[in-house]
Each structure stands twice: as structure tokens, then as C-alpha cells.
Amino acid sequence: MNKIYAQALLLSAFLPAVASAALPTYDFKVVRSYPHDTQAFTEGLLYRDGVLYESTGLNGKSSIRKVDLASGKVLQSKDIPPQYFGEGLTVWGDTLVGLTWQTQTGFVFDLKTFEMKSQFAYPGEGWGLTQNGKELIMSDGTATLRFLDPKTFLEVRRIKVTAEGIAVDQLNELEVVEGEIYANIWHTNTIARIDQATGKILGWIDFGKLYPEAGKGLNGENVMNGIAYDAEKKRLFVTGKLWPKIYEVKIVPRK
Ligand code: DDQ
Ligand code: CA
């Protein structure tokens, strides 16, 4: 385990204990909370035109869903074939693009009907997925984020994510928020704020106090994962795998 990953873990566990690191640590305030399906092993989450879209993992249980924010009700859902473990999800035009964990297969779905329109292949693992209006951005468990052409799904560039020069891996669910990339660090309550151009981590957001049951269920796998942003109303939503709530949060500097 590298030093910075250990720092992220510590941040989650002991709150202010290691906040003296050179990078800023941010806290959060809960604005509102909404119900979330406790059967959803959340891998991808995004907000688009008043609704949430979510992908869930675990073989045989993977799906993509359209979810009503206020009630948490699943409005529409489609199963991903059982041999695949659903991973990151993003929206591109009138499609949803989803990754799978270790099967090197991505899917393109119609945003309205959820009909599977096509598949594509990529090397390595598929973890998180987001987009910046120009490229898709994927994580794969390493410290690398790949930028993909949204038409061909071929890699156009990559960045190495570092904190003070040290590579940070385990980057999971992603979201572009006001030009930065937010990344959940797997098995922690920490979100890293990443500079898209350089890969440098600009700061940590410590969600250690958000959901006390995080990481205590399903053999420790009910961890924080799921970041969605409503760019119009500047609302940030976070949740976790099997969590009962989705939280709208405001990020504030640590005092
Ligand atoms: N990934 O999302 C980090 C890429 C993979 C998560 C794998 C979690 C396996 C959970 C198995 C739970 C069985 C009790
Ligand atoms: Ca997301």
C-alpha cells in the first residue's frame, strides 16, 4: 500500500489526525438526504435532466437504472448480462456508456429505452467513468486515468494521479465537477479532487462522518462510491454501495 493511499485511509478513520499533510482537506455539510435502494451495489452515478442514472455491480445483479431523486424509486431498469460485473456509467448525447470490471467490455445503451446499441473493448480493468464534454474519462484501479474518444472509445491521452508526487491508485467512481475530476478512493470515505490537465490531487474531501455503517457490511464492501453533479443547480450528490441514502452535500474548507 503506498503512503498516500494509507493517508487517505487514515483520513477516513481518524478524521483530523493526519490533516496536517500539505494538501488541503475539505469537510462537507449535508444539505438534504434522499432514499437509496439498499439492494443497489452502486458503481456509477450521474445526474441528468432532473433524474439520476445509476449502474450497479456484482455478477448476476448488475443493472443500469433511472432513479427518481426525491423518492429513490427505480423508474426504469435493465439487467446487464450475468457474466458481467457492472461498473462506471456516464451519459454521452442520447446514450449511456457503461464499463464492466474485468471483462474488458463496454456497453452503449439508448438513454431513453435502455436498449443495448453496441459494445466496445478496452484493455485492463474498468472501474469509474465520467466525461468532460469532450472525452470520456475512465479509471481502472491503477493511478492512471484514461481519456477516451467518445465516438471510437479509443484512448486519446492519459494522466497519472499523484499527491505530492506520489501515485494514488484505487480511484473508483468519478465525476467532473466544475472542471475538476472527483474520484472516490476505493475502501475509503475520501474523495480526491484531481486536476484534469496534470493529474495532481488538489485536495481531499473527508466523508468519514457521513455514514457510520460505511465499510461495515457485506464483508466490508458497502463502501462509499457514487458521485453525481447537477451542474445547473450546482448540487453535488454522493452515496455508497448498498447505502440507504443519497446525500446532497456542500464542500467546505476544514477549519
Ligand atoms: N471495483 O468496483 C472496485 C472495481 C470492484 C469491486 C468488487 C467488490 C466485490 C464485492 C464482493 C462482495 C461479496 C460479499
Ligand atoms: Ca459519477
Which ligand is located closest to the Cα atom of residue 191? 2
Q: pLDDT band for position 21 (50/70/90)? A: low
The pLDDT value given to residue 255: 85
Q: pLDDT band for position 33 (50/70/90)? A: very high
pLDDT at 11 over 60: no
The pLDDT value given to residue 13: 47
pLDDT at 216 over 90: yes
Q: Is the CB of 221 under 6 A from ligand 1?
A: yes
Which ligand is located closest to the Cα atom of residue 98? 2
Q: Is the CB of 124 under 6 A from ligand 1?
A: no
Q: CB burial class (10 A; 0-12, 13-18, 19+) of residue 195? A: middle
DSSP one-letter string for 24-56 = -EEEEEEEEEEE--TT--EEEEEEETTEEEEEE
**ipTM given for this complex:** 0.96
Q: What is the spatial distance between Cα 49 and Cα 228, in angstroms, rounded to a whole number?
A: 12
- Nearest alpha-carbon partner for 62 in 50, 77, 46, 47: 77
Residues forming a β-bridge with 32: 248
Which ligand is located closest to the Cα atom of residue 139? 1
Backbone angles phi, psi at 93, to 5 degrees: 60, -125
pTM over 0.90: yes
With a pLDDT cut of 90, the percent of the chain lying above it is: 91
**Averaged pLDDT, 183-208:** 98
The pLDDT value given to residue 15: 34
Over residues 96-129, the pLDDT tens digits come to 999 999 999 999 999 999 999 999 999 999 999 9
The pLDDT value given to residue 243: 98
- Indicate if the alpha-carbon torsion angle 181, 4, 126, 239 is positive or negative: negative
All structural domains of the chain, each given as residue ranges with its CATH number in brackets, are 41-253 (2.130.10.10)
Q: What is the spatial distance between Cα 201 and Cα 110, in angstroms, rounded to a whole number?
A: 34
The pLDDT value given to residue 22: 85
- Indicate if the alpha-carbon torsion angle 53, 97, 187, 155 is positive or negative: negative
Q: Is the CB of 6 under 6 A from ligand 1?
A: no
HEC profile for 65-101?
EEECCCCCCEEEEEECCCCCCEEEEEEECCEEEEEEC
Over residues 43-88, the pLDDT tens digits come to 999 999 999 999 999 999 999 999 999 999 999 999 999 999 999 9
Q: How far is the CA of 252 from the centre of ligand 1 (A)?
A: 30
Q: What is the spatial distance between Cα 57 and Cα 172, in angstroms, rounded to a whole number?
A: 13
Q: Is the CB of 247 under 6 A from ligand 1?
A: no
Across the chain, mean pLDDT equals: 94
Among protein residues, the one with the nearest Cα to ligand 1's atom 5 is 101
Q: What is the spatial distance between Cα 228 and Cα 226, in angstroms, rounded to a whole number?
A: 7
